[in-house]
């Protein structure tokens, strides 16, 4: 029995919201995602605080998260809803 479906693994990456680095220790990835950064995350973003008439900008941290899922596809040379081919 030939394998009709060849699953392709897709990796989806996302970043959490930019927050003060000291607060980012507790930041969790969304459900189903795995955190790939440690501690306070990566200080590569800015967050803003509005104080009366001014908006102040600070360097903040965020985490990178990944999610892997299998995308079903027909193997080479097969096609159609049931991957039969010829």
Establish if 84 belongs to a structural domain: no
Establish if 58 belongs to a structural domain: yes
* pTM of the predicted model as reported, rounded to 2 decimal places: 0.70
Establish if 9 belongs to a structural domain: yes
Query: What's the CA gap between 26 and 22, in Å, rounded?
Result: 9
Establish if 86 belongs to a structural domain: no
- Residue-number span of the structural domain to which 47 is assigned: 5-74
Establish if 34 belongs to a structural domain: yes
Domain tally for the chain?
1
Separate counts of helices (H) and strands (E) for the chain = 0, 5
Establish if 80 belongs to a structural domain: no
Establish if 82 belongs to a structural domain: no
Query: What's the CA gap between 60 and 24, in Å, rounded?
Result: 9
What is the edge-to-edge ordering of all strands in the sheet holding 64-74? 5-15, 64-74, 34-35
Establish if 31 belongs to a structural domain: yes
Q: What is the pLDDT of residues 38-71, one digit of tens each?
A: 999 999 999 999 999 999 999 999 999 999 988 7
Q: Which residue has the higher pLDDT, 26 or 81?
A: 26
């Amino acid at each position: 029995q030939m394998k009709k479906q060849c699953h392709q693994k897709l990796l989806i990456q996302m970043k959490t919201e930019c927050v003060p680095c000291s607060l980012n220790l507790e930041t969790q990835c969304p459900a189903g995602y795995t955190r790939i950064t440690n501690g306070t995350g990566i200080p590569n973003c800015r967050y803003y605080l509005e104080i009366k008439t001014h908006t102040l900008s600070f360097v903040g941290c965020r985490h990178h998260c990944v999610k892997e899922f299998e995308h079903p596809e027909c193997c080479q040379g097969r096609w159609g809803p049931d991957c039969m081919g010829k």
